[in-house]
Amino acid sequence: MGRRQRWWALATVMWLVACGSDSDGPGTDGQRMPPGGSYEALVALAEEFREFVPPRMVDGVPDYTADAMRTQHAELADFRARLDAIDDSAWPIEQRVDYMLVLAEMRGLDFHHRVLAPWRRDPAYYSTVHLGFGPRLHGTMSFPELPVADDEALATLETQLAAIPAILEQARGNLVELKRDLALLAVERKRIERNMFDRFADALDDHHPELAPAAREARDAIDAFVAWLRARASDAPRYAGIGVDEYNWFLRYVLLYPYTWDEMMVMGEREYERAMGFLALEEHRNRDIPMVEPADSLEEFERRRAEADEVLLRFLDEHDILTVPDDVVPVRGQGPYILPGDRDPTSRGPFEPPIERHFFRQTEDRDPLPLRAHNTPGHLMDRVMQSRDDRPIRGRELLWFIGANRAEAWAYYLEGMVHQAGLFEDRPSARQINWVLQAKRAARIKPELMMQANRWTFDEALESLTTRTPYWMAPDDPIAIYDLELYLRQPGLGVNYPVGRIQVEQLLAERARELGADFDLRAFHDEFVAAGMIPVSLIRWQMTGRDDQVRKMR
């Protein structure tokens, strides 16, 4: 049996055990569960709720007006009542985990209406083109390759282009709670979008000239929206966070974290001190060894990345650490990590002189191995696993970035785990880089928490992150700006890394202590991955049967 078959067999067995024979048949206590309380009823409700969440679309324009949002929020109460009527207390834990996921998603929609309300507060939410990770309105377009051969796809493109002025016009009426920092961040995002539409219009002149005027109208609408934002930003409220109480509510009842704002502040500072202390020890150990120089060409960058992937995957297999399926194959030729600003057609290529390296490029251009642990058996494997996960609730991408806890916790855990397992023993620069990466991730926690508590502005948070990151971070580092923009716009994203890794390490310690000599590291990792892209607190419940954390989240 190959690696892919071994992993999928484990996930399938877990799912079959969870499902039993028929959810309307005998339950775990021998009683028959009524149809309204069946797992199938939960699945049906979850599917209906997912269809309910997106706003109504009118000619390509999503309706985020005040009346539409009030109506949706009022109708959410019916979904919650129907979910509350389902009694999952006698279900297998795996099915009860799915119940918690549906509950968290419904609470998340409530939170978006009551508190976060990006359609009222965050002008960057009105992204007209998909620039990458982050919250955005429903139906954001991506530029297709030209020429577009399919008539239906061409008609869709025409509708999308024509809708952009109306989307931004609606945004002016919706943004009644504009925040200064969010407005200024949106101006930069819109600048990139504007340049992309300008370049796209030129391309349409050559392939679909009948659509080029609509692309230029979209560009002009973005210019007008930016002018509108600039005129109002200075008078908007200074802080853009949601406050400690609401942040704690979101952590516990939507993201399903067992920790509070105060606890995360302590944990983040302790992780920062730990990383900085071990970095000092590593610097002393390497005091006579020069740091490796960064790659100065795309060819050398790709060579180092390919070598790192080969070393990493062989290490995981030969040392019985993790089963990586055979079809998890790194894609070559992608180049360095892409930020939204890199999509600006006016920006230089990654190795076009003079080379400008943001923080992550400073690390990966030197030795890609630490970040490849994050991205290859981390995010790449997760994408492959999720693409074939047909479980009806957890097999889908969760709303409100609920699955980001698991995604970033696991990927970041892998960086530290392979370090401790000995992967970097003969690579002093990799060890040193890894401690720098850990210090940087920990240094992000305090800025996120302070911004959301409305105690720091974006600029104050940026100064903290850039001055406390020990290497390679200038005051205007694009990675620092990108990170903090995400953490201000979407609470809880930054804490996923160090705090999420702490959760994984807690689970590892518990399983190792319980099983003693029978503990198997590969089996632990494989079972963890097979649980799916769900919060670590739920994986812990499923793997150990302990519900002490989850009880506080109901």
pLDDT digits (tens, 9 = 90+) for 314-337: 999 999 999 999 999 999 998 998
The pLDDT of residue 136 is 93
Note the residue count of the chain.
Answer: 554
Mean pLDDT of 204-232: 97
Helix (H) or strand (E) holding 417: helix 404-421
How far apart (Å, rounded) are the C-alpha atoms in residues 166 and 113?
22
How far apart (Å, rounded) are the C-alpha atoms in residues 18 and 12?
10
Query: Quick one: which of 255, 552, 551, 380 has its CA closest to 371?
Result: 380
**Is there a contact between 294 and 351 (Cβ–Cβ < 8 Å)?**
no
The residues facing 129 across adjacent strands are 141
The pLDDT of residue 6 is 52
Q: Is the pLDDT of residue 31 over 50?
A: no
Q: Is the pLDDT of residue 15 over 90?
A: no
Average pLDDT of the chain is 93
366-394 burial code (b ≥16 CB/10 A, e <16): bbbbbbbbbbbbbebbbebbbeebebebb
The pLDDT of residue 338 is 87
| 131 band by pLDDT with thresholds 50, 70 and 90 | confident
**Is there a contact between 473 and 359 (Cβ–Cβ < 8 Å)?**
yes
The pLDDT of residue 29 is 42
How far apart (Å, rounded) are the C-alpha atoms in residues 262 and 550?
19
Q: CB-hemisphere CA count at 13 Å for 170?
A: 22
- Paired tokens of 454: 């409305």
Of the chain, the percentage scoring pLDDT greater than 70 comes to 94
The residues facing 62 across adjacent strands are 57
DSSP letters along 3-64, please?
HHHHHHHHHHHHHHHHH-S-TTSB-TTSPBPPGGGSHHHHHHHHHHHHHHSSPPEETTEE--
The pLDDT of residue 152 is 95
pLDDT digits (tens, 9 = 90+) for 415-471: 999 999 999 999 999 999 999 999 999 999 999 999 999 999 999 999 999 999 999
DSSP letters along 72-123, please?
HHHHHHHHHHHHHT---TTS-HHHHHHHHHHHHHHHHHHHIIIII-HHHH-G
Mean pLDDT check: name the lowest of 43-52, 128-137, 322-331: 128-137
Q: How many helices (H) and strands (E) does the chain have?
A: 22, 2
- Paired tokens of 179: 């925040």
Mean pLDDT check: name the lowest of 298-307, 329-338, 536-545: 329-338
DSSP letters along 421-461, please?
HTTTTT-HHHHHHHHHHHHHHHHTHHHHHHHHTTSS-HHHH
| 33 band by pLDDT with thresholds 50, 70 and 90 | very low
Mean pLDDT of 140-161: 95
Q: Is the pLDDT of residue 550 over 50?
A: yes
Whole-angstrom CA distances from 545 to 234, 270, 402, 548, 549 are 53, 29, 21, 9, 11
Q: Is the pLDDT of residue 544 over 60?
A: yes
- Cβ atoms < 10 Å from Cβ of 51: 7
The pLDDT of residue 13 is 47
Mean pLDDT of 46-59: 96
Mean pLDDT of 119-129: 95
Q: Whole-model pTM? A: 0.92
Query: Quick one: which of 145, 139, 112 has its CA closest to 127?
Result: 139
Mean pLDDT of 55-77: 97
The pLDDT of residue 9 is 53
The pLDDT of residue 23 is 38
pLDDT digits (tens, 9 = 90+) for 189-203: 999 999 999 999 999
Q: Which residue has the tokens 């600029």?
A: 459
How far apart (Å, rounded) are the C-alpha atoms in residues 375 and 258?
26
pLDDT digits (tens, 9 = 90+) for 355-402: 999 999 999 999 999 999 999 999 999 999 999 999 999 999 999 999
